[in-house]
Amino acid sequence: MVVAAGAKFNLRRGNGSSHNVVNSYSSDGDLCRINKSGCFSSAAEVDRDPSCVSFTTFNILAPIYKRIDPQNQGLRESDFRSFWLDRNNRILDCLLYESSSIMCLQEFWVGNEELVNMYEEKLGDAGYHLFKLPRTNNRGDGLLTAIRKECLRVMDYKELLFNDCGDRVAQLLHVQSVTPLLQNPKGCVPQEFLIVNTHLLFPHDSSLCVVRLNQVYQILQYVELYQRENRLKPMPIILCGDWNGSKRGHVYKFLRSQGFVSSYDIANRYSDSYADAHKVNISLYRIVICFPGIKSIVLVVFFFFARTFNIFPLILQWVSHRNHRGNICGVDFIWLCNPNQARKPLKTSWAEAVFSILKFQLRKASVSEDDAFTFLKGDNYADSVTYFSFSEALRQVKLVGVPYGLCFQQLQDLWNQADVDGNGVIDFEEFKQKIWNSTCPEHVLENVNGCMEDGNTEQEQEAIGFKVKNAMLYPREVEKGLWPEDYSLSDHARLTAVFSTARMRCSGVQN
């Protein structure tokens, strides 16, 4: 029932467990029992192990945004007390049954005192320490993070205000386990980690990609600053929330280049590429070989069109959101970065991501590599790009010079990344190397659940990290890429992940 106040940091632009029988919820949140080996129904099922920490992230759809009548878009659930009261009581029942160590909620209706009191009372009575943060400019909704006091203590709490066109915010918490989660040769050491709860801007059009990228960039900048100023030892970083972007987007690739992994994808053995789709292709091909005849002809036709039109990635992809346009997509993540993960310099990864957005915009306009270089050169007769022509080109694709675009310092940072030799111009080779072929490389999914063995150098020290033990989406249909029509708790699925602790060797200094 306690709502803590924390220091505000204004970010202004400028300078697997297995069970034979388990409990679960139906699509609409009712308890049911399912028989399925290798899954769990709630964090409570797996969280009996004292070395486990469970996380739930859930966009609970603020009543001020929930549409009631398709024919009358102005009619919202907030106009009907019984509607939003019943739905939020069911949401709380689900959350309390699941009883995760940490709950990160988005679109929490901070503007309604009755609803806020209901969450404070029920979660407070269940032993949670609550932190709420409204979006700026009185948007009405915001974030709520709940920490279970019996297993975790909050060392520090910070509020991040982006002050951008989306009025988005984020919460940063420095958390420590109440009891040691893992025995250390030097004695019992409590686990410490940083957790962020956020809700990124919805990409109404592709020009807003840079806003979402900047929001994540500012989060990671502040995390680095917080670690440095507080001289923290290496520890895991967990990012929870509604990212309003899929695995194919620039934000996803940017976070991967910074050593973060999606806990759900790790637990369910999804890859970053379309390798899973190719596995289905191969399986279908084998079926055709084994079962010749008319049916196989149908399969061959389907196989051909699926390969041609790239259908398989859509079939295989899990989803977690049905947006206001009726599209379903996977946008809710619990990201983990262990202290032993190699990470590029943050500014380098960010520049690569911005150049990737630039390339995307040019390709959308059917601009080839040579034409792109010519576009960046502008009216310059020399075979090189000047700072003036570079900034003018970025202005034309709306990356700078608009209210939500890059600031002057960020433009300078991009230029410094592209001008490799520092001679004041970008030649064609530099353009190819740093802009056109610049990508955020996808990390190989190895060592994310393990520890760095050996390597006893003076620069390394032992740290406590996390292994992804399990992760699950509710309702379960969304894991198969389906959205159940009878699901009414939210327009988002609920994601829960369970981590166990692990020793790992890492550099004594984190980026």
Classify residue 2: in a domain, yes or no.
no
Q: DSSP string spanning 105-149?
A: EEEE-TT-HHHHHHHHHHHHHTTEEEEEEEPSTT-S-EEEEEEET
Residue where a domain stops, chosen among 436, 453, 485: 436
Residues 216 and 356 in one domain: no
Same domain, 87 and 131: yes
Q: Same domain, yes or no, for 483 and 414?
A: no
Q: What is the band of 276 on the pLDDT scale with cuts at 50, 70, 90?
A: very low
- Say if residue 317's pLDDT is above 60: yes
Within 8 A by CB and 6+ apart from 111, the residues are: 64, 134, 138, 140, 141
In sequence order, which residues have a C-beta less than 8 Å from that of residue 333 and are 6 or more positions away?
57, 239, 240, 241, 243, 262, 263, 264, 495
pLDDT category of residue 450 using cuts at 50, 70 and 90: very low
16 shares its domain with 148: yes
Residue 37 inside a domain? The answer is: yes
Q: From start to end of 317-452, where are the E strands? A: 321-322, 328-329, 332-337, 385-386, 425-426
Does the pLDDT value for residue 103 go beyond 50? yes
Q: What predicted TM-score, i.e. pTM, was given to this entire model?
A: 0.83
**134 and 100: one domain?**
yes
Confidence grade of residue 6 (pLDDT, cut at 50, 70, 90): low
Write the pLDDT tens digit of every residue in 156-180: 999 999 998 889 999 999 999 998 7
Q: How many CB atoms lie within 10 A of CB 301?
A: 10
64 and 176 together in one domain: yes
Give yes or no for a contact between 234 and 461, defined as CB atoms under 8 angstroms apart. Answer: yes
Let me know whether 167 and 19 are in one domain. yes
- Boundary (domain end) residue, out of 385, 412, 436: 436
Supply the range of the domain harboring residue 291: 275-314
CA angle, 434 then 438 then 443, to 5°: 135
Residues 50 and 84 both lie in one domain: yes
241: left (phi over 0), alpha (psi -120 to 50) or beta: left
* Number of independent structural domains in the chain: 3
Co-location of 263 and 176 in the same domain: yes
> Do the domain assignments include residue 478?
yes
CATH no. for residue 356?
1.10.238.10
Same domain for 115 and 262, yes or no, is: yes
Last residue of a domain, one of 384, 404, 436: 436
Q: 242 and 106 in contact (C-beta within 8 Å)?
A: yes
In 187-273, which ranges are continuous DSSP H helix?
Answer: 209-229, 250-257, 263-267
Chain centroid to Cα 180, Å, comes to 28
Residues 108 and 209 both lie in one domain: yes
Q: Which pLDDT tens digit goes with each residue over 345-402?
A: 999 999 999 999 999 889 888 899 999 999 999 988 889 999 999 999 999 999 998 8
Q: How far is CA 174 from CA 20, 47, 155, 452, in A?
A: 36, 21, 5, 24
- Could you give the residue ranges of the DSSP H alpha helices within 250-293? 250-257, 263-267, 275-290
User: 279 lies in a domain?
Assistant: yes
Output the average pLDDT for the chain.
82
pLDDT band at residue 39, thresholds of 50, 70 and 90? very low
**Is 186 part of a structural domain of the chain?**
yes
Of the listed ranges 70-74, 265-269, 394-398, 497-501, the one predicted with least confidence = 70-74
The reply to whether 471 falls in a domain is: yes
Residues 25 and 65 in one domain: yes
